[in-house]
Structure 1
Amino acid sequence: MLLGICLGTNDLPRAGAFYDRLLSTVGMVRTMEVDDEIGYGLPGGSSCFWILKPFDQQPATLGNGTQVTFKAKSNDAVEEFHRTALELGGADEGSPGYRYRPRYFGAYCRDLDGNKLHIMYEPD
């Protein structure tokens, strides 16, 4: 069972400001902050997503083929997440639209460190 995901950053305060706003679009909040890491999760819940400065003190690098996917509550929320990421300085990797299956609506972007993020919605 997967407990959570960590992404590296070279500027924790800047990444924290980015993710504070971005993750609020999917109902996530900052749930903890210690030394060189910030955790996010649902309000009152445990952290399941972390941004951090690498433990080995080497620069954070992105993984080729690595992607973190977040689930939105609607197509509009997918669009808001993507728009917010770009407004905050993230890069577009795929505009909101239908993909894969007839009801799968998603978008792709990169954070300030180049980590790839995917946001999607598909009705149950």
Structure 2
Amino acid sequence: MVETFLYLTLGTNDLARAARFYDAALAPLGLVRRATEADEVGYAHPDDRRARLWVTLPFDGAPATVGNGSMPAFTASSRQAVDAFHAAAIAHGGTDEGAPGLRPYGPGFYAAYVRDPDGNKLSAVHHDPSDQP
């Protein structure tokens, strides 16, 4: 496996709320919580030995804020996984930023966009140029 990044961190102001949201929203994408600490939770694919996404209370103690223009995009195994990610995110306190559907970023680029309860923007994408309606 080629590692393209070590990990990604998103801030939260309510770790328990964020953990409930991410547990539900990331499950359809095959990601599970791998670590639970007093100030952070970490997520990864079950076969990955380390957490790649961390949701954390800010180290400096100041309130977490949203990064303008920041958006992690998660790989989805199917259009149905994108749909399930979006539905779970909304059901667990997220807000819609773009319902599941094809996007103009290339043939078969199927994505959904949400914001977590802290306002961080997330996307799930299934990109298969042969997967046309």
- The TM tier, using the shorter chain, reads over 0.9
Unaligned runs of 5+ in 2: none
Q: Does 1:29 align with 2:32?
A: yes
**Distance apart, 1:102 and its partner CA:** 1.8
Residues 38-92 of structure 1: CA distance to partner in whole angstroms, max 9, x if unpaired? 1110125210000000000000000110101101000111011011111111010
Unaligned runs of 5+ in 1: none
Structural RMSD (CA): 1.1
Q: Does 1:119 align with 2:112?
A: no
Residue 68 (structure 1) aligns with: 72
Identity of aligned residues (%): 47
- How far apart are the structure 2 equivalents of 1:15 and 1:104? 28
Alignment size in residue pairs: 124
Query: If the length of structure 2 is used for normalisation, what is the TM-score?
Result: 0.89
Q: Would the aligned equivalents of 2:43 and 2:52 in 1 still touch at CA under 8 Å?
A: yes
Residue 107 (structure 2) aligns with: 102
Corresponding residue SS for 1:25: helix
Q: Does 1:77 align with 2:81?
A: yes
Q: Would the aligned equivalents of 2:107 and 2:128 in 1 still touch at CA under 8 Å?
A: no
**Distance apart, 1:111 and its partner CA:** 0.3
